[in-house]
Structure 1
Amino acid sequence: MSNQLDDNFWSTRYKENTTGWDLGQVSPPIEAYVDQLTNKDISILIPGCGNSHEAEHLLSAGFKKVTLVDISEVLVERLKVKFEAEIAEDRCEVIHADFFDLKGTFDLVIEQTFFCAIDPSLRQQYAQKMAELLKPGGKVAGVLFEMHKPDGPPFGGNSEEYLGYFEPLFDIKSMEPCHNSIAPRAGSELFIILQKK
């Protein structure tokens, strides 16, 4: 992990509440995707989970196996309080870790502002780690930015670049412009569904 984007970097952002990427709500494209899932028993990972509005939505919708991972210890301690009841019910697990050190396998990974938060030099490694963490036929679903923004985080990119990372490892079920982004992000988000080959 780039030294700049370590636990201290992100924990400082959360302590100072300088989290401009946080929508304060579940991302509408992800909400729409989650709402059409019928199997509540699938294991779901949210890496770089942040304040976990997506997890709140999943848990309130009855999903039973939600794992949250973040590199910020400050944030993880907050989430353990926030999801205390769900953790006690064994429906939610909150892990303080670097995503690239994570073990286990999952049916679904929700991507929401994690890919754009890591150093772009790690994107190939991200694709490989996602494939490693998914069960056979498992999926990554969520949102990537389509915009030029080299000075991040968030770091930008485009679908052509992303396909280079993902096509060798995944069947691309969707990589299309979002039609239901919040207004400030309209035209700069791609909805992805990547299925492990």
Structure 2
Amino acid sequence: MTQEFSASYWQKRYENAQTGWDVGTITRPLKEYFDQLQNKGQRILIPGCGNAYEAEYLFGLGFRNVFLVDVAEAPLQSFAERVPGFPKAQLLLQDFFSLESKYDLIVEQTFFCALHPAQRQAYAAKCAELLTPGGKLVGLLFDTEFQHEGPPFGGSREEYRTYFEPYFKFLHFETAYNSIPPRQGRELFIELES
């Protein structure tokens, strides 16, 4: 990880409320995906979880094996205060790339775009390594280029395919039809199977 995007970099972003990616709630594509999940016992990982509205929603639905990982302490503390019943042992203050457990589902929500593009191939490989056979990587990727220097970093579906194709079967990989208005037409919904 480059120094610029270290744990202290992200901690400062949260402390200074520089969290433009944070929409303050779970986004509709993920909410609708979670609503149709049947197996509440599956192990779910949310990397680069930030304020983790997705975990709060899943926990409210009865999913108890949800694990959050972030390099910044601030969002994990905020989440623990907001959702006091959530198991503290499932709040992981560490680098995603250092994880070693296995999960049935990895939820992608603005973590991929926070990574420097040079880390994208490693991200795809690490997700494949962390998933159980038949496990899924599900979430949203920006399908757009940004006019500013990242993070967030943009990209295209063609680029992303090259990272994920060696490791995953593509179940869904298309423009999200139910994005929030500012992201309409600029997000890919992905469901990839290991």
Specify the TM-score bucket, using the shorter chain as the normaliser: over 0.9
Determine whether 1:187 maps to 2:185.
Answer: yes
The answer for the alignment partner of 1:64 in structure 2 is 64
Unaligned 5+ runs, structure 2: none
Structure 1 residues 18-63: Cα deviation after superposition (integer angstroms, max 9, x where no partner): 1110010101101111101011010000000000100011000111
The answer for the alignment partner of 2:8 in structure 1 is 8
Instruction: Tell me by how many angstroms 1:130 deviates.
Output: 0.3
The answer for the alignment partner of 1:26 in structure 2 is 26
Instruction: Tell me by how many angstroms 1:84 deviates.
Output: 2.9
Instruction: Tell me by how many angstroms 1:64 deviates.
Output: 1.5
Task: Tell me which amino acid in the other structure corresponds to 1:177.
Answer: T
1:160 counterpart SS class:
helix
Identity among equivalent pairs (%)? 47
Instruction: Tell me by how many angstroms 1:176 deviates.
Output: 0.5
Instruction: Tell me by how many angstroms 1:85 deviates.
Output: 1.3
The answer for the alignment partner of 1:78 in structure 2 is 78
Instruction: Tell me by how many angstroms 1:81 deviates.
Output: 2.9
Determine whether 1:167 maps to 2:168.
Answer: no
Counterparts of 1:93-108 in structure 2 under 5 Å?
93-108=90-105
1:84 counterpart SS class:
coil
Aligned with 2:112 (options 112, 115, 118): 115
Distance, in Å, in 1 between the alignment partners of 2:18 and 2:150 is 14
The answer for the alignment partner of 2:156 in structure 1 is 158
Distance, in Å, in 1 between the alignment partners of 2:140 and 2:165 is 17
Task: Tell me which amino acid in the other structure corresponds to 1:38.
Answer: Q
Task: Tell me which amino acid in the other structure corresponds to 1:98.
Answer: D
Instruction: Tell me by how many angstroms 1:102 deviates.
Output: 1.1
2:50 counterpart SS class:
coil
Aligned length: 193
Distance, in Å, in 2 between the alignment partners of 1:25 and 1:83 is 14
Structure 1 residues 99-132: Cα deviation after superposition (integer angstroms, max 9, x where no partner): 1111100000000000000110000000000001
1:95 counterpart SS class:
strand
Contact 2:114 2:153 in 1 (8 A): yes
RMSD: 1.2
Structure 1 residues 51-100: Cα deviation after superposition (integer angstroms, max 9, x where no partner): 01000110001112000000102222333333331216xxx710000111
Distance, in Å, in 2 between the alignment partners of 1:76 and 1:61 is 20
TM-score (norm 2): 0.96
